[in-house]
């Protein structure tokens, strides 16, 4: 038996000072039917239920409403939002929240719905336009309690201290970070993702796997976030294709829901990196599905930022594929890139930004916007503007 203790490097972040924040988590079939009793525990006057048309059509919102009625909770519904929540949609939600006299938030939906609810809470509590949170999140009043029922497996928004909003004037997605964006409770019910169209399951799953990867290679990773990131990789990689191809496969849905949750806790606390910084810039311009944009920028961003991280690339690969053999550590990054590209092709996700509709004349603006993205703070390598211009050119036309 090998009893050699791990080298300090294996402890991720070398035991530098780190904190770990997570909400209360209720996980399993039937979790969404408990929404009423969890919301009632906050003894609010009125709940703002944030959702969207698709979630209402799928029936999940109706079940949550039934649990609210059973718990005797008064509520109003806000569903006037689109994917990638826009600044003006959020401010319309703030207005509705205040006019209705709400004091608790309940989000039922995917990452866009949850981010919208987070932003409504923060902006309403502080009587401030959501884009003014970019200046500073210091000294803010705490947001009202937020309970989440996620209906996609990918965003991690239900556990993270991030919220992403689309600045419509600048056409860029902006990531906000702060303790007040962490929900109080998340009710994770694997049944909810069975009704997702396969292309969404694919894009959300790719997003979740990239959360785990960027958290694991972040310069703010810790022994705790490493546990979550590697377990997320172990769950998501083998189950994603099955979840996309077979909507009746509950085992895969459960694995994806759990994997996404763990990846969310990893990146919430370790941060993300260049893949998300480039993805936010391009996603804001295109208003496209987040996971699809990440797939297109992945190879260029990953090759750049993980160039000196062979041991961690190898460990992540081994988490995804326990039997993976590699002769030389120098090959780990290329093997990781090959594996992601194979997955991307199987999932039918885009290979280039050109495929998604980006124009060559957009690339300089994308580079400037990515340079401002908060996710670069935890990227293992900090790019210059010139580096980003090159990286966007590569992502634009790579085949
Ligand atoms: Fe993401």
Distance 111 CA to ligand 1 centre (A): 9
Rounded CA-CA distance 341/175 in Å is 26
Position 399 pLDDT exceeds 50: no
- pLDDT of res. 74: 97
Provide the whole-model pTM.
0.93
- 84 alpha carbon – ligand 1 mean position (Å): 12
Annotate 258-295 with DSSP letters as a single string.
HHHHHHHHHHHHH---HHHHHHHHHHHHHT--HHHHHH
Q: Would the pLDDT of 9 be above 70?
A: no
- Whole-number Å distance, alpha carbon 68 to ligand 1 midpoint, is 30
CA of 291 to the centre of ligand 1 (A): 7
Predicted confidence (pLDDT) at residue 306 exceeds the cutoff of 70: yes
Query: Which two tokens mark 255?
Result: 């694995």
Average pLDDT score over residue span 28-37 = 94
Q: pLDDT (tens digit, 9 = 90+) per residue, 82-116?
A: 999 999 999 999 999 999 999 999 999 999 999 99
Distance 208 CA to ligand 1 centre (A): 7
Expressed in angstroms and rounded, the spacing between residue 23 Cα and the centre of ligand 1 is 19
Instruction: Pull the structure tokens for residue 200.
Output: 């969404």
Residue written as token pair 């003014």: 132
What pLDDT is attached to residue 115?
96
CB atoms within 10 A of CB 195: 15
Domains of the chain: 30-188 (3.40.50.1970), 196-397 (1.20.1090.10)
- Classify 253 as helix, strand or coil: helix
Q: What are phi and psi of 135, to 5 degrees?
A: -65, -45
Structure tokens of 96?
């509705």
Nearest to 299 by CA among 168, 394, 202, 163: 394
pLDDT reported for residue 268: 96
The mean pLDDT of 51-62, rounded to a whole number, is 93
Amino acid 139: pLDDT: 73
**The pLDDT of residue 15 is above 80:** no
Confidence of residue 12 (pLDDT cuts 50, 70, 90): low
| pLDDT band of 8, cuts 50, 70, 90 | very low
Mean pLDDT, the chain, integer = 92
Instruction: Please tell me the distance between residue 212's alpha carbon and the centre of ligand 1 in angstroms.
Output: 10
197 Cα–ligand 1 center, Å? 19
Q: Are strands 75-78 and 47-50 parallel, antiparallel or unpaired?
A: parallel
The mean per-residue pLDDT over the stretch 186-194 comes to 89
CB 248 within 8 A of CB 140: no
Contacts of 188 (CB under 8 A, 6+ apart): 25, 26, 27, 28, 31, 150, 158, 257, 258, 261
Q: pLDDT confidence of 324, banded at 50, 70, 90?
A: confident
């Amino acid at each position: 038996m090998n009893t050699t203790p791990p080298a300090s490097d294996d402890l991720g972040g070398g035991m530098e000072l780190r904190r770990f924040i997570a909400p209360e988590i209720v996980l399993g079939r039937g979790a969404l039917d408990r929404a009423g009793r969890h919301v009632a525990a906050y003894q609010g006057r009125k709940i703002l239920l944030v959702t969207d048309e698709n979630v209402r059509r799928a029936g999940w919102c109706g079940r949550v409403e039934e649990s609210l009625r059973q718990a005797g909770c008064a509520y109003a519904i806000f569903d006037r939002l689109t994917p990638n929540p826009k600044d003006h949609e959020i401010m319309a939600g703030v207005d509705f929240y205040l006019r209705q006299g709400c004091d608790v938030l309940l989000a039922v939906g995917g990452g866009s719905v949850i981010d919208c609810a987070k932003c409504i809470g923060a902006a309403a509590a502080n009587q401030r336009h959501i884009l003014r949170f970019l200046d500073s999140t210091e000294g803010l009043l705490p947001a009202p309690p937020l309970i989440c029922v996620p209906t996609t497996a990918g965003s991690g928004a239900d556990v993270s201290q991030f919220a992403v909003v689309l600045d419509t004037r600048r056409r860029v997605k902006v990531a906000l970070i702060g303790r007040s964006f962490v929900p109080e409770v998340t009710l994770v019910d694997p049944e909810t993702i069975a009704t997702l169209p396969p292309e969404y399951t694919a894009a959300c799953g790719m997003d979740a796997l990239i959360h785990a990867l960027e958290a694991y290679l972040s310069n703010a990773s810790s022994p705790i976030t490493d546990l979550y990131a590697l377990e997320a990789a172990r769950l998501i990689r083998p189950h994603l294709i099955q979840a996309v191809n077979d909507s009746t496969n509950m085992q895969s849905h459960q694995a994806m829901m759990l994997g996404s949750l763990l990846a969310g806790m990893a990146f919430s606390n370790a941060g993300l990196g260049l893949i998300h910084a480039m993805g936010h810039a391009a996603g804001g311009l295109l208003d496209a599905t987040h996971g699809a944009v990440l797939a297109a920028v992945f190879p260029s961003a990953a090759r750049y930022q993980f160039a000196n991280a062979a041991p961690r690339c190898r460990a992540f690969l081994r988490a995804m594929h326990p039997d993976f053999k590699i002769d030389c550590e120098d090959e780990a990054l290329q093997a990781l890139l090959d594996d992601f590209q194979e997955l991307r092709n199987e999932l039918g996700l885009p290979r280039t930004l050109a495929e998604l509709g980006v124009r060559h004349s957009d690339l300089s603006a994308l580079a400037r916007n990515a340079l401002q993205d908060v996710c670069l703070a935890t990227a293992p390598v900090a790019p210059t503007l010139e580096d980003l211009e090159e990286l966007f050119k590569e992502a634009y036309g790579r085949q």
